Every structure is written in C-alpha cells, then in structure tokens.
C-alpha cells in the first residue's frame, strides 16, 4: 500500500517510489557513491538496483561512471536535474507520511516505531550471522 501511494505521490515528478528514494539516498550519501553501497543503504540487491539506475541515467537525473582505480566498481552521482529534485521528493514523501498517519495518536506512533526498530535490529543481527 505504501509503495503504490508513494508511486502516485511522485508521479507528478515523473518518478516511481524506487527512483525517488534512490535519488534521495544518492543525495544523502554524496556524490560518487559506490553502487553497491547505495544498494546496501536501500536494502536491495545490487542487481535489482541496476534497472532503477538505468532509468535514472536515461532521464538524466544521475550519472554512473566506472571507478578510476577499480573498473569493477560503478559510482553514481546526481546530475543538476537530479539534485534539483531531492527537496521535492522529500517533501512529497513527508506529505504522504503526514496524510497516512494523520489520525494516529502519538502514543500509538511511538509504540509502532519502537516495535519496528526492535524488529529491524533482530533482522539485522540475523542477517549478519
């Protein structure tokens, strides 16, 4: 449900939720982020990120280049067009969060956040074994 709502929220910018979130994360991680590091940050496989990056390159929102030292490594950076979208994407995601959570009491949100953080910690520990 979140993904479909996020897709609709970003459709006016010509982006999917996965494309928008990828642009935001490149903006947060900084220019020349390794594609594998970006995939880890997004919690997706490097292979599944390739298609999203291909679409963003075609839309001239990111550039992808081979690392100068290690040609096996791809690095991603925002173009000026991509950089100009970061704040708009974040605003769209924030508006969607506010809309989805508008009628939820603060105590319930705090409980949900605490449980989500506990689950994330458990999944992270299990994955690292």
19 occurs within a structural domain: yes
Q: What are the backbone angles phi and psi of residue 102, rounded to the nearest 5°?
A: -55, -40
Q: What's residue 108's pLDDT?
A: 92
**CA-wise closest residue to 21 among 81, 98, 90, 99:** 90
79 occurs within a structural domain: yes
CB 49 within 8 A of CB 39: yes
In CATH, what number is assigned to the domain containing residue 7?
1.10.10.10
40 occurs within a structural domain: yes
> pTM to 2 decimals?
0.83
CB 101 within 8 A of CB 107: no
The domain of 91 spans 2-103
45 occurs within a structural domain: yes
**CA-wise closest residue to 78 among 46, 44, 33:** 33
CB 62 within 8 A of CB 78: yes
Extract the tokens encoding 92: 């769209």
Q: What's residue 2's pLDDT?
A: 81
Provide Rg for the chain, Cα atoms: 17
Q: What's residue 122's pLDDT?
A: 86
109 occurs within a structural domain: no
126 occurs within a structural domain: no
128 occurs within a structural domain: no
Q: What's residue 128's pLDDT?
A: 72
78 occurs within a structural domain: yes
Please list the rounded mean pLDDT of every run of 10 residues in the chain (129 residues): 88 94 95 92 92 96 91 93 96 93 92 91 77
Structural domain count of the chain: 1
Q: What's residue 98's pLDDT?
A: 92
């Amino acid at each position: 449900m979140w993904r479909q709502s996020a897709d609709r929220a970003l459709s006016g910018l010509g982006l999917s939720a996965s494309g928008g979130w990828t642009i935001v994360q490149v903006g947060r991680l900084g220019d020349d982020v390794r594609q594998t590091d970006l995939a880890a940050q997004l919690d997706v496989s490097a292979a599944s990120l390739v298609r999203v990056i291909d679409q963003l390159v075609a839309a001239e929102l990111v550039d992808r280049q081979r690392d100068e030292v290690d040609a096996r490594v791809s690095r991603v950076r925002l173009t000026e067009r991509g950089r100009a979208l970061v704040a708009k994407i974040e605003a769209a995601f924030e508006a969607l969060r506010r809309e989805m959570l508008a009628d939820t009491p603060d105590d319930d949100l705090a409980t949900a956040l605490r449980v989500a953080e506990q689950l994330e910690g458990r999944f992270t520990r299990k994955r690292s074994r």
